[in-house]
Structure 1
């Protein structure tokens, strides 16, 4: 960038000069005479002042930049400066986009359904996430656990299995310790329910291991369904 200092004697006659600068060059002036800082700033209000200060002699040193192509006139007190600013772009460079006049060279952005695709992907992820969350919730549901366990009851294991699944359900629902053998009557469990659980325990160790396991299974489901219904009504 060019940086040139000009002395302006405000007490003499008009000092005019012509000097060519490239656009964006920094121009520095040394101003001697009776002029204020505000007057200088007002004279250069159409330009970008980079610095404005006084030197040791009390003269103003101002550096400014102009981006106005052509002849620039600056009035400082009784002095008029003429500064010629030219563009740094060569004539040949002004035609760099000439090829765009050819329709074959123009890129036309097609209206691809980007947002629709993203929305579809997001929706699919949400559905899959909800499905797996549903599976997780089901795996923790005491009633689902009870039904799954009872589906494995057969003629060989019913004495242990029915008792186990019923006590597990009661503990999961009410925070009791039936699995630990603490049979406490708490609402909505009835004394009859508790006695049924105890009987199932005794049956595991009874010498008489006969019985209709389907009837015991039906009775266990009957207790659980009643407890579930009362649970829903209390909510």
Structure 2
């Protein structure tokens, strides 16, 4: 808010009693035999925003943040200005409800870093478990064990040979599924003869035979191949 006061140096004494709010910009016009330096000295205790010369007078813009009676002495002239606060008595107790501890908010030092570290650790653990599950799902030995366990008396003639050849191809990069039975360590002649025997049984008109014996022999071959492959990998 801008307040304007006219101060004429022609008077020997000028006194104002009008009230202004703290922080108001007050403008006065001063005429007479006076210099800018005298004006700056008179207003040294105030925030002077601007002093401008206009024809035969000075225009002074200033602000006071001191509550109460403010006096400006210019030569033998005195300017009195009353500055009042913009806060009334009723607003002095604006936070009185905070005196009640129940109405206060107390910021607690929660263990944020501990919680975040725990979440990160849990996610890392779950990721590790998932990787193990995925690796096991791709493991030829796990696949063989799962499928061989489902073989029964009706499908063993085709499935035992299929699962055994699948395991060999998955671990040795051979083509037993395509009928290329070649010797490749640790596959032996006996292993190939067993597979050929299964092929014969599969296409033979004689459907007799104890499938459990063939199933157990296929499992023994896989266990031996797996063990020898692990030993070769350590060398």
Q: What's the TM-score, normalizing by structure 2? A: 0.59
Gaps of 5+ in 2: none
Q: Deviations over 1:23-67 (max 9, x none)?
A: 34334456887548xx69x948x7495xx596987x987756554
| Distance in structure 1 (CA, Å) of the matches to 2:26 and 2:225 | 98
Match of 1:218 among 217, 220, 231: 220
Structure 2 counterpart SS, 1:153: coil
1:20 maps to 19
Tell me: CA distance 1:65–1:172, structure 2 relative to 1, closer, same or farther (3 Å): farther
Q: Residue 169 in 1 paired to residue 167 in 2?
A: yes
SS in structure 2 at match of 1:4: strand
Distance 1:122 1:8 in 2: 73
- Aligned match of 2:199 in 194, 198, 202? 202
Once the two structures are superposed, the pairs formed by residues 14-163 of structure 1 within 5 Å of their partners are 17=16, 19-28=18-27, 35=36, 43=44, 47=47, 66-72=64-70, 83-101=81-99, 105-107=102-104, 122=119, 126=123, 130-163=128-161
Distance 2:86 2:131 in 1: 66
Q: Matched residues in 2 for 1:198 and 1:124: separation?
A: 49
Deviations 1:84-119 (A, max 9, x none): 32212221222344455456x545759797869956
Superposition TM-score, scaled by structure 1 size? 0.59
How many residue pairs match? The answer is: 224
- 1:142-201 deviations in whole A, cap 9, x for unaligned? 332222122223444334323333333344445555444455666x55464873585266
Deviation of residue 3 (structure 1)?
0.7
> Computing the radius of gyration over CA atoms, which structure comes out larger, 1 or 2?
2
User: In 1, distance between residues paired with 2:25 and 2:91?
Assistant: 24
The alignment's C-alpha RMSD in Å is: 5.2
When residues 118 and 29 of structure 1 are mapped into structure 2, their CA distance, relative to the original with a 3 A threshold, is farther
